[in-house]
Amino acid sequence: MMIRTARLAILFASAATAAPAQGIRVQKDRPNAAAPTGVMLVRARPSDVGMSNALLSRLDSVIKAGIADHATPGATLAVVRRGKILALKGYGHTDWAPGAPAATDSTMYDMASLTKVVATTTAAMILEEEGKLDINHTVASYLPEYDVPDKRMITLRMLLTHASGIKSNFPLWKDAKGREQYFKGMIAFPLVREPGSAVEYTDWNMVLMQFVIERITGQTLDRFVQARVFGPLGMRDTQYLPPESLKPRIAPTETEDFRGGQVWGVVHDETA
């Protein structure tokens, strides 16, 4: 699928695959339970979970129309409710090129800005629950280097709600290389408004949130969420930096001439 709105990206496949022998476990009743509890995902009809059986044909028509209109060469659909799989299938192909593989229920896609809610926000909430992070505290209280006059009042809540005043789409990636240069650049570039005064979506909020999480945990974000989120939830195909061995399952994201052509098997977003 060609995703053109990608930001801090993560290569991600649907976790709702057909249940293997050991099952896929999902939370049930106790959303904050310390240990995983739950039931195995099983196939069902929409009517079994209070939905119309016409749903699946409607979804089929929407996705097929999108392919026919050249919005995407293909897609993978999963619909799950109340621990039951209502739909899990692929449509079309992974690329427009002749002979491209068919999209299946195991095709992996670059999920782009969903990283913000699936990984970064979830990691922050885990740390909040454990008393290691307070979203009402300032960024500077966790990252002393960020204690500069125009930014010292920015809180973690402002980052998570995109109310920090940080400039959107600042092309730091053109000059900065590596984590240290990125962090120094984020300290230096100016705000566009008073922190907390308005909401404007920007990737840099979550990049900064990542630095906070990593400073607290002593781990890179990808390692932390693998251990605390993806692993416990059985999200075995959800990961950063997939190995070359998975490339045949990964759909190309787009073509970027300045990156040498097709972006395939590596993160789409230039910032990431």
pLDDT along the chain (272 residues), means of 10: 34 38 37 45 94 95 97 95 94 93 93 90 97 97 95 97 90 80 87 95 93 97 96 90 89 76 71 66
CB 75 within 8 A of CB 66: yes
Q: Under DSSP, is residue 14 helix (H, G, I), strand (E, B) or coil?
A: coil
Among candidate residues 239, 240, 265, 243, the one with its CA nearest the CA of residue 254:
265
- b/e map of 162-190 (b: 16 or more CB within 10 Å)? bbbbbeeebebeeebeeeeebbeebeeee
- What CA–CA distance (Å, rounded) separates 222 from 210? 10
Residues 14, 256: Cα–Cα separation, whole Å: 26
Pick from 241, 245, 247: which is nearest to 220 by CA? 241
41: which DSSP letter?
A: -
Across 120-271, the runs of DSSP E, i.e. the strands, are 254-256, 261-263
Contact in structure between 234 and 15 (CB atoms under 8 Å): yes
Angle value at C-alpha 198, between 195 and 203, nearest 5 degrees: 75
Instruction: Give bridge partners of residue 80 from the DSSP assignment.
Output: 85
Give dist(CA 249, CA 123) in Å, integer: 27
Q: Give the per-residue pLDDT at 265.
A: 67
